[in-house]
Structure 1
Amino acid sequence: MHNQCPPMYKDGKVVSYPEKSRLSVYQLPLLVIVAVLVYLSALRNGFVFDDTFTITNNYLICSWSKFTSLFTKEYFAASGELSYRPVVTLSYFIDYSIWQNNPLGYHITNVLFHTINTVILFLLIKSILVQKILIQKHEFIYKTARVSGNFTFTSSRQIASIAFLSSIIFCIHPLLAEAVNAISFREDIIMATFYFAAFFFYLISNHNKSILWHIFSLLCYGLSLFSKEMAVTFPLVIILFDATMHRNVKIVYRKIYYYAGYAAVTIFYILVRFVFLHNPTESYIPYPQDSLWINFIQMSKVIASYIALIFLPINLNADYVVPLSSSVSDASFLLSVFLVISVIIIIFRLFSHSKILFFSALWFLITLLPVLNIIPIENIMAERYLYVPAVGFYIIASHLLYQLLRIKTKNNTAILYCCTSIVTFILMWYSWQTIQRSKIWYDNISLWSATAARSPQSSRAHNNLGIEYKKSGYIDSALREYETAIKIRPNYSEAYSNLANLYIEIGSNTLDRNDSLNLYRTSEDYLKKAIETYKKAIEISPFNNVAHFNLGITYGKLGLFNDAEIEYKNSIRLNPNNQHAHNHLENIYEDRELSDMALEEYQIALSIDSNNAITFNNIGNIYLKKELYGNAIQAYEQAVKNNPEGIVFHENLGNAYLKMNLTDKAIAEYEIMIHLQPDNPNYYTNLIALYWNHKKNSEKAIFYLRKLSALQPDQRDSINKMIDKLGGKK
């Protein structure tokens, strides 16, 4: 038959082609169960790390009306992303529409994607091992006496076992816990989903000669690219796969039309990413010490560290600090080079023994290329970078473990049990380590405390720990952490900005502080110190729109409104969606009685967040001053609709109703105020006056007077006289 697989050979003898394994029926559900159980503790975690920027303070994802911003340059200012990753941001849109700011839902999504990846990877590795997809027209893959040295696959059980073991290691390996636990690092997980799927569909399209599966593969590759740039290695991976598995290089040349599709997708992505939708605030990042040689030394140590962490995942960290080395005599560099060269030698030795293992080893190196600082990146080392590359080593480890068990334990039950117990122990230890890592990601305090303890030279850890101390009111600790961060990294713009924020808090006496922190005599001194510090942050990072905004606020506190206006405009220029900057600029215009300019800013603010009650309230205030009471009422009504618990909105609406002689509606708003805060005596006065002077309803007036008397016992005599007076008029 046309679709019949060619004969397989081993040691010169024909062997049967492996049939579909029944193990998959049990293995797939088991993979799902293990993935859920291992990351169950992650579901109780909150928002951590960069989640503040990408989710909790991200106005873009709050309304589907902003969806079109995914395809414009507004994306960068609104999404909190430096790179163009619209697929990931779309997932935040969906999560927010379901969960709003409940972190549980976002963590469920992360765990769900990781579970899906585990399943797809299992199917992908099975497809690679079976090798049916390598059959081309007029080519028999297994036409020679030996195919893969001692590693020929003749058993469906062997294929399923290796695929399962590789996938289970991927599922539970603690090195991947960072990508699963951090919502803002979801890009690695989603990129992997489409990366694995693209490869899987590519293999199917090769085997079935189906254009439809090829289109699916191209589509998944595109989605993977627009999830994270690391996916750009995919065309190299499939070319490597074909070149490795085929003995006849001409077959690879014949598949150029296949590769052309991936090249077209790559070119399209590059044009979108670097031409049409290039981030204007993306800053230039130099090599370490501006030296290509030092960069080579540093990345040699990083690669060696990655390999060590894959096999022995201990001392994991959210922020790695790679000590700077500039000399080839540095011991850590020499050790790293020795390890890397040893691995490279082993890789090439593998080519003659097993092409699958050779391909798996090169998978690691190729997929890691985008984060090897060839093009300088912010973080030269991170665990999340290994989410896809580590798969190559998982396949190698599983393959070798299976062969070891099969050869060494043959006809020896005792050794089989012993080896199986060791493998089981390793897997259980991996699982336990992953669960422990998830606990560290519970909140920012636990995360950054652990990170600072493990990496004392991590400026990011100290800065972020300072943020959390400030939130908790530990001002002395926050100050110490910010100063430590700046000492470690003198050009750390964010740390300067946070230190300035702290000076403002201290100067405004909004937080308790120890006498030891009274560095400056007056509030004005602290504000001036904050201005100096903000300017330092902006000098280091001119595109820091938050620093510009905070500098504007500080100028405003000192009455320097012209300077404040300039900084608010700078912040808006860098981030047009900075609603807070628009609101503060509106306040300046309003104070200057530039009501039309203020209204224009308010309308811009509403285009950013159409549900902001404060903005509607401020618009109402302007219309009220202009005596446009109908417009004021509309704005106040919208404010009340968006925030029914806002007492000031009800009060302003009630006052506006009175201006229009809508007494009944005004009374209704004042009664809502009393319902919301029944213990506030100030809210009763207007209501009592309305019931008596306007409605001539002494019964209601007396009712609220008695309530007021209970709230103000010192005024009880005068209130009782009023009650008697009203009763006399009945």
Structure 2
Amino acid sequence: MTAASSKGDTLRTTLLSIVILAVVTLSVYGVSFSNGFVMDDEVIIVNNPQTLSLSNIPDVLFAPDLIKPYYRPLNRATYLFDFQLAGMRPAWYHAVNIFIHLGNVVLLFLVLRLLLRDRLAALAAALLFAVHPANAEAVNFISARNTLMALFFGLASFLSYLQGRAEGKKLLWFSSLLYFCSLLSKETGIMMSAVLFVATFMRLQESERPLNWKDRIILLAPYGALTLLYFAMRAYSLQGIVGTPVPAEGLFSRLAINYHIIPQYIALLLFPADLTLFHKVPQGGIFSPAWYLPLLLLLLAVVVYIFRSGNRVAIFAFGWMVINYIPISNIVPIPSDFITERYLYMPAAGFFIWVGLLWRAGNVREGGRRWLIPATAIVLVAALVLTFQRNLDWKDNLSLFSSGVRNDPASPGAHYNLGTSYLEHGDIAAAQREWETTLRLNPQHAEAMVQMGTLAAVRGDLGTAERYYLAALAAPPGETDPDKAMAHLNLGKICEKRGQLREALQHYQHFLRTVPLTYLEYKGEVEKKVKSLMSTVKG
């Protein structure tokens, strides 16, 4: 066989593999095209004036997101162009997410082709990544597109880096630009700089030439320069706020909580049956629950074995997982849940490199393919079914939070959010029932108290409403409204009705200082009230 025919065969098999990946990915996520906007999509996309006009491009590029520590201009720009192309039709927005995920699947396959030199192993691992149920949240949640994009540009940068190391410097410059796009998509893209730094000290491909220190500095310089440019843009856009500070207080407890978080992420990768927005961090010591310690010890044994084996690709895959886990390890407090499936999307790429290595090891054994292909097919079909079912849960808020209650009937958060969904659908009785259930499960649930107070206020029972609001202020910080902004807003309305104008003004001002993203729609109305009351009180 000539070199040209061999290259042609390689191209045909690669294209065939990509077609297979596309068919499988689009088949499992095809149902998601009919899903709507859910959760934060309404605030970040639907009701965000930045998404409505191309004249907002300067604001998108050089202004913070709705939550100020976040600066993700490239991600926000995609929503702007989505609206220009398709208005507010959610099918288009879901299609963009799905095709970015497909791009990640293909890029992972191409990376694995280079690292493993085994097309079937690369295809098997990429197929499992394509349909893995834990990825459904990142793909279906339109507002999580930043995570999809960060991995897309991160993988593309790494692929260009690998090819540039083997073929020439032009691709290395292209790799640094792709890395910059990952940074502009989401802050966690910066972890790719650490991944690439590790890669400069490892020969992941036999065709890579050895590097001395000068070569490494030259190789990494463009990434460093673009990182500095990103931080300059970020500091300008956030008016000097570079990021979320790392408070020293509570650092040990935030690190210790990973004992209960890491096993859950491992379980999601290995046995992804517990799919929900409401993962809980168990309370207790190292034996609560009992299976956490054995699982962590098993992980430790696997890591020791990998390092003792000296397999550079396996060691690199472990490094990928650890590096990309750091941003979700709660060293920096994240204003979200401790455990969220979409956060696993970037670290999971390293896990699937391990999957490819294991598949290749089985494939080279005599007779290994006879059992390996059927076993892979069974796992693939099971994962496909679970992901298809999970995609249906993301149809709308009502179906999404109903699935949370089904998954864990004892979850206060699931019942609370289901109640808000019932309210959006006009079913006040069902909403009240869910909030009462929330308070039975957690008598200190501040947001449920506020909602119950609002129901009482609507019925004209201001005394009961006030008691609920005051109880909410005395409760621990809430999840979606930690500073009880809505309790202050509603207490302000009650005080205003009673003629207690100074007290009303204080509550309204507190609302404006602490209003969370979820309740920004009330900000304009309250600003008018404050302006009016200030003139009245001074007069």
Query: In the superposition, relative to structure 1, how do residues 531 and 556 fare at CA in structure 2: closer, same or farther (>3 Å)?
Result: farther
Aligned to 1:49: 39
Aligned to 1:106: 93
User: Matched residues in 2 for 1:580 and 1:102: separation?
Assistant: 25
**Aligned AA for 1:88?**
N
Aligned to 2:181: 223
User: Matched residues in 2 for 1:330 and 1:584: separation?
Assistant: 47
How far does residue 502 in structure 1 lie from its aligned partner after superposition?
3.9
- Tell whether 2:140 aligns with 1:181: yes
Cα displacement string for residues 244-287 of structure 1 (whole angstroms, at most 9, x for unaligned residues): 21799753652212212222333444455468617989988879
Residues 360 and 392, structure 1, Cα contact 8 Å, conserved in 2: yes
Aligned to 1:266: 227
- 1:651-662 matches, cutoff 5 A: none
Query: In the superposition, relative to structure 1, how do residues 52 and 68 fare at CA in structure 2: closer, same or farther (>3 Å)?
Result: same
Query: In the superposition, relative to structure 1, how do residues 587 and 200 fare at CA in structure 2: closer, same or farther (>3 Å)?
Result: same
Residues 69 and 238, structure 2, Cα contact 8 Å, conserved in 1: no
Aligned to 2:346: 388
Query: In the superposition, relative to structure 1, how do residues 239 and 173 fare at CA in structure 2: closer, same or farther (>3 Å)?
Result: same
Aligned to 2:71: 84
Query: In the superposition, relative to structure 1, how do residues 355 and 21 fare at CA in structure 2: closer, same or farther (>3 Å)?
Result: farther
Residues 565 and 585, structure 1, Cα contact 8 Å, conserved in 2: no
User: Matched residues in 1 for 2:329 and 2:230: separation?
Assistant: 21
Cα displacement string for residues 540-584 of structure 1 (whole angstroms, at most 9, x for unaligned residues): 767666555555444444455555455555555667995644345
Which has the larger Rg? 1
Query: In the superposition, relative to structure 1, how do residues 251 and 392 fare at CA in structure 2: closer, same or farther (>3 Å)?
Result: same
- Tell whether 2:149 aligns with 1:190: yes
- Tell whether 2:76 aligns with 1:96: no
How far does residue 85 in structure 1 lie from its aligned partner after superposition?
1.8
- Tell whether 2:186 aligns with 1:235: no
**Aligned AA for 1:104?**
A
Question: Structure 1 residue aligned with 2:359, among 387, 391, 401?
Answer: 401
Aligned to 1:723: none
Aligned to 2:159: 200
- Tell whether 2:110 aligns with 1:123: yes
- 1:648-687 matches, cutoff 5 A: none
Aligned to 2:293: 334
How far does residue 388 in structure 1 lie from its aligned partner after superposition?
2.0
How far does residue 19 in structure 1 lie from its aligned partner after superposition?
7.9
**Aligned AA for 2:196?**
I
Structure 2's unaligned 5+ residue stretches are: none
Q: Which has the higher mean CA deviation after the structures are superposed, 358-367 or 57-66?
A: 57-66
Residues 73 and 185, structure 2, Cα contact 8 Å, conserved in 1: yes
Residues 467 and 498, structure 1, Cα contact 8 Å, conserved in 2: no
Residues 281 and 543, structure 1, Cα contact 8 Å, conserved in 2: no
Residues 301 and 332, structure 1, Cα contact 8 Å, conserved in 2: no
User: Matched residues in 2 for 1:101 and 1:286: separation?
Assistant: 40
User: Matched residues in 2 for 1:538 and 1:183: separation?
Assistant: 31
User: Matched residues in 2 for 1:101 and 1:556: separation?
Assistant: 38
Residues 500 and 529, structure 1, Cα contact 8 Å, conserved in 2: no
Residues 200 and 216, structure 2, Cα contact 8 Å, conserved in 1: no
User: Matched residues in 1 for 2:267 and 2:386: separation?
Assistant: 16
How far does residue 355 in structure 1 lie from its aligned partner after superposition?
2.0
**Aligned AA for 2:82?**
D
Q: Which has the higher contact order (CA 8 A, sep 6+)?
A: 2
TM-score normalised by structure 2 residue count: 0.84
Cα displacement string for residues 344-390 of structure 1 (whole angstroms, at most 9, x for unaligned residues): 21221332xx3223322332222222212232334322221221221
DSSP 3-state at the match of 2:50: helix
Cα displacement string for residues 61-107 of structure 1 (whole angstroms, at most 9, x for unaligned residues): 2333433333455x34xx35752222222222222333443322211
- 1:233-632 matches, cutoff 5 A: 233-245=191-203, 251=212, 254-270=215-231, 272-273=233-234, 277=238, 290=250, 292=252, 294-326=253-285, 331-351=290-310, 354-377=311-334, 378-409=336-367, 416-456=369-409, 458-475=411-428, 477-482=430-435, 485=438, 496-497=446-447, 499-509=449-459, 522-529=460-467, 531-532=469-470, 535-536=473-474, 548-561=488-501, 563-565=503-505, 567-568=507-508, 571-572=511-512, 578=520, 580-583=522-525, 585-586=527-528
User: Matched residues in 2 for 1:506 and 1:462: separation?
Assistant: 19
- Tell whether 2:19 aligns with 1:32: no
Cα displacement string for residues 331-352 of structure 1 (whole angstroms, at most 9, x for unaligned residues): 345224312312221221332x
Query: In the superposition, relative to structure 1, how do residues 462 and 112 fare at CA in structure 2: closer, same or farther (>3 Å)?
Result: same
**Aligned AA for 1:103?**
P
**Aligned AA for 1:306?**
Y
User: Matched residues in 1 for 2:358 and 2:482: separation?
Assistant: 53
User: Matched residues in 2 for 1:62 and 1:496: separation?
Assistant: 34
User: Matched residues in 2 for 1:508 and 1:557: separation?
Assistant: 14
Identity over aligned pairs, percent: 27
**Aligned AA for 1:225?**
L
User: Matched residues in 2 for 1:423 and 1:122: separation?
Assistant: 16
**Aligned AA for 1:216?**
F
Query: In the superposition, relative to structure 1, how do residues 508 and 372 fare at CA in structure 2: closer, same or farther (>3 Å)?
Result: closer
How far does residue 114 in structure 1 lie from its aligned partner after superposition?
0.9
Cα displacement string for residues 627-667 of structure 1 (whole angstroms, at most 9, x for unaligned residues): xxxxxxxxxxxxxxxxxxxxxxxxxxxxxxxxxxxxxxxxx
**Aligned AA for 2:185?**
S
**Aligned AA for 1:532?**
L
Cα displacement string for residues 21-80 of structure 1 (whole angstroms, at most 9, x for unaligned residues): 53012111222222111101111112223223222332332333433333455x34xx35
Query: In the superposition, relative to structure 1, how do residues 355 and 117 fare at CA in structure 2: closer, same or farther (>3 Å)?
Result: same
User: Matched residues in 1 for 2:213 and 2:230: separation?
Assistant: 25
DSSP 3-state at the match of 1:316: coil
RMSD, aligned α-carbons:
3.8
Aligned to 1:668: none
Residues 505 and 533, structure 2, Cα contact 8 Å, conserved in 1: no
User: Matched residues in 2 for 1:419 and 1:487: separation?
Assistant: 50
Query: In the superposition, relative to structure 1, how do residues 176 and 576 fare at CA in structure 2: closer, same or farther (>3 Å)?
Result: closer
Q: Which has the higher mean CA deviation after the structures are superposed, 258-267 or 229-238?
A: 258-267
Residues 41 and 435, structure 1, Cα contact 8 Å, conserved in 2: yes
User: Matched residues in 1 for 2:187 and 2:366: separation?
Assistant: 43
Residues 508 and 526, structure 2, Cα contact 8 Å, conserved in 1: yes
Query: In the superposition, relative to structure 1, how do residues 474 and 27 fare at CA in structure 2: closer, same or farther (>3 Å)?
Result: same
TM-score normalised by structure 1 residue count: 0.63
Q: Which has the higher mean CA deviation after the structures are superposed, 89-98 or 543-552?
A: 543-552
Structure 1's unaligned 5+ residue stretches are: 5-15, 130-152, 154-158, 411-415, 510-521, 595-730
Q: Which has the higher mean CA deviation after the structures are superposed, 474-483 or 319-328?
A: 474-483
